[in-house]
Chain A
Amino acid sequence: MLIDPDGSVATQDAWQLPDHDTLLAAYAALVTGRRLNDQCYALVRQGRLAVYPSSHGQEACQVAAAQVLGEGDWMFPTYRDTVASVTRGLDPVEVLTLLKGDWHCGYDPTKHLVAPQATPLATQLPHAVGVAHAARLKGEATVVMALCGDGATSEGDFHEALNFAAVFRAPVVFFIQNNQYAISVPLSRQSVAPSLAHKGVGYGVPGERVDGNDAAALLAVLRAAVSRARAGEGPQLVEAHTYRMQAHTNADDATRYREEDEVAAWVARDPLTRLEIFLRAEGVLTDEIAERLTKDAERVAQHTRDGLNLDVRPNHEDLFQHIYAEPTPQLREQQALVADELTRELTVTGAPA
């Protein structure tokens, strides 16, 4: 921890507080990220999103994971990492295509070097190792930020990815957002290890724990891990201790498995509040700047609303176009069948199918 929940600086010999510009940029992204989370929550209730796994309360992790990366670096997000992907530069409307249900991955992963959001747990982590290893073979200085949650650390792919990364000295930063719950199952049922960061020990991967609600600490720790990986010193595991303030998704009822006062205790540790207090005390954040950041965030929310309120007519041809580079003869037949059905539907109803 570098900044306390009350906004004061915690003395740390090992870690340097990031400079004011970096922290203000982080704060700006936090404000936007929080606004985006709240906007998406509302869009679910309005029926514009099928579902939204919110990172409300985890925004410091989201923002730091994206902001420590350089231009040629890759990020591998999960379904809860919408804010991280947007901070990385993706259009929120494209990121939310998955949760809106128009298509699976709504963005071109090669454009911003952000892999498709992974919904199966931990399966994206070996991919991160492969991307990192390919970069090394090509002589590129790429670092890969691989995100996962506490639940994913129980999956085999998590362990295989750590081991492969270590054996190949792949430049991967494995970043666990330990938000204490995998849907309803608490951390105590995932692991009895002293910490999730300890899980690197068996693979020769150094582990670091960090306060996941302290953007300053996250930026310092993740940046060091990225530098270390870029210097060829191999992968690192970082565990951020944070909390999922809302239910797993809107379809979940968190009151069935956790007490209100547990949630209340984490409100006091909100990642936005402490950075705001600190930046105001330092004179970096003024009312004027705060107002501008709120407006910027509102613009992102507005853009997201507008995009999601737009009814995109799904293209039925997409169903068959992207299975193979060239559709098989069988797929061509099936595509023709659907096209014929839709034409007949049009003839009967007179309405566009």
Chain B
Amino acid sequence: MSHEKLTMAQALNRALRDAMAEDSTVLVLGEDVGPLGGVFRVTDGLTAEFGEDRCFDTPLAEAGIMGMAVGLAMNGMRPVVEMQFDAFAYPAFEQVVSHVAKMRNRTRGAVSLPMVIRVPYAGGIGGVEHHCDSSEAYYAHTPGLHVVAPATPADAYGLLRSAIASADPVVFLEPKKLYWAKDEVDLAEAVPPIGRAVVRREGTDATLIAYGPSVPVALEAAAVASQEGRSLQVVDVRSIVPFDDETVCTAVRSTGRAVVVAEASGFASVASEIVARVTERCFHSLAAPVRRVTGFDIPFPPPKLEHLQLPGVDRVLDAVDDLQWDES
């Protein structure tokens, strides 16, 4: 009975519900998370089930929400805050950078902040301006935060349970375009620890490294490539911070070629960091420079142009074609 077919939104909702049932200090707060159940329905039914002391709407002010969550965590709670959209989270940025990320360090471990910041994340849903940013680099660049991005309903459930159980603050990036993607979820399965990547598809010719919304793109590219006679391995990073160098580098060494796929603008990005890490560690195993397929260095485009910004299967396969096959 523990196997269920769930959308990612339902899996997240289940994770919140199960965590709240197990631990009365787990609280959910944010904008429209109460009776409405969140604009993506991730908190659906939680206020009805646990009462409005446990899942509650706040005034519409993200810095206030984040700052209040810091105080709640300082005084024994495990708050899970929802930032309604990635690009609406910026008013809370100072709280995240100066306090959420630093409290343990400032106090030499005397005060920790076990809190989760849920962020509906990235593009692909035709959202209008300020609804589709890929903001992971801002968070990943801030020491003290864990940053994760699930790509499957099962990981959404497991990683959110791990995030809520974590003693440290976790920025939880939920790919909006995958909210309605359905898959089997084994709720009884051991939850994946934060910090471990996973090989989603085995392959021998090159490795595609992706996370969050780019994982299905990489898998589709690998499927197409196999019809063209090329065997692509796909690694799902899952945890941007801490980064799993071991799994990623083992994978790249096994193929000798790699392409990193991510929606965020490429300049000074997480994708760039992955390229640097892989190159530093796997140089002698590489047959070609590691390529990036990322969003362009432009503000997120309007809905009718976003298909040009998002890494697609063709662009990924073009990058794979560029991996100096003739010279090897």
Contacts and interface: CB of A to CB of B under 8 A. Distances in A.
Interface in B159-217: 166-168, 195
A134 B112 contact: no
Nearest to A108: B110
Contacts of A324: 104, 144, 146, 167-168, 242
B37 to A, nearest CB: 20
A108 B107 contact: yes
B137 interface: no
A115 interface: yes
Contacts of B304: none
B59 A163 contact: yes
Specify which of B79, B104, B108 lies most central, judged by the most chain A CB atoms within 10 Å of its CB. Answer: B108
Interface stretch (A51-59, A119-127, A181-189, A272-280): A119-127
A105 B107 contact: yes
Nearest to A136: B53
A321 B104 CA distance: 10
Contact of B71 (A104, A134, A329): A134
B67 A133 contact: no
Contact of A131 (B71, B94, B99, B241): B71
A254 to B, nearest CB: 28
Interface in A304-345: 318, 321-325, 328-330
Interface string B135-155: 000000001101000000000
**B: contact size bracket:** 35 or more
A129 interface: yes
A101 interface: no
A147 to B, nearest CB: 15
| A105, A123, A134: most-surrounded residue (chain B CB, <10 A) | A134
Given A115-B74, A161-B64, A322 B105 contact: yes
Q: Would you call the interface of chain A mostly helix, strand, loop, or mixed?
A: helix
Interface string A130-152: 11111101100000000000000
Contact of B67 (A109, A127, A138, A328): A127
Interface string B56-92: 0011010110111111111111010000000000010
Interface in B228-279: 241-243, 245-246
B243 A325 contact: no
A322 B104 contact: yes
A123 B246 CA distance: 38
A116 interface: yes
A219 B77 CA distance: 32
B195 A129 contact: no
Interface of B: prevailing SS: mixed
B61 A160 contact: yes
A103 B109 CA distance: 12
A172 to B, nearest CB: 10
Interface in B102-130: 102-112
A109 B68 CA distance: 17
A117 to B, nearest CB: 10
Contact of B167 (A115, A123, A131, A325): A325
Contacts of B109: 321-322
A160 B59 contact: yes
A47 interface: no
B61 A105 contact: no
A: contact size bracket: 35 or more
B285 interface: no
A167 interface: yes
> Which of B61, B71, B109, B242 has the largest number of chain A CB atoms within 10 A?
B71
Nearest to B115: A130
A162 to B, nearest CB: 10
B94 to A, nearest CB: 6
B324 interface: no
B67 A134 contact: no
A148 to B, nearest CB: 13
A234 to B, nearest CB: 15
B226 interface: no
B105 A163 contact: no
Interface string A46-78: 000000000000000000000000000010000
B95 interface: yes
Contacts of B66: 126
A156 B245 CA distance: 40
A125 B67 contact: yes
Nearest to A315: B108
A123 B110 contact: no
Contacts of A74: 75
Given A160-B67, A164-B58, 19 more contacts: A105-B108, A109-B111, A110-B110, A116-B103, A123-B94, A123-B99, A126-B71, A127-B71, A129-B64, A130-B69, A130-B72, A137-B27, A138-B76, A157-B67, A318-B108, A321-B108, A323-B144, A324-B104, A329-B195
7 contacts: A127-B68, A130-B67, A130-B75, A131-B72, A134-B75, A324-B144, A325-B166
Closest 4 CB pairs of A and B: A130-B71, A126-B67, A160-B64, A134-B75
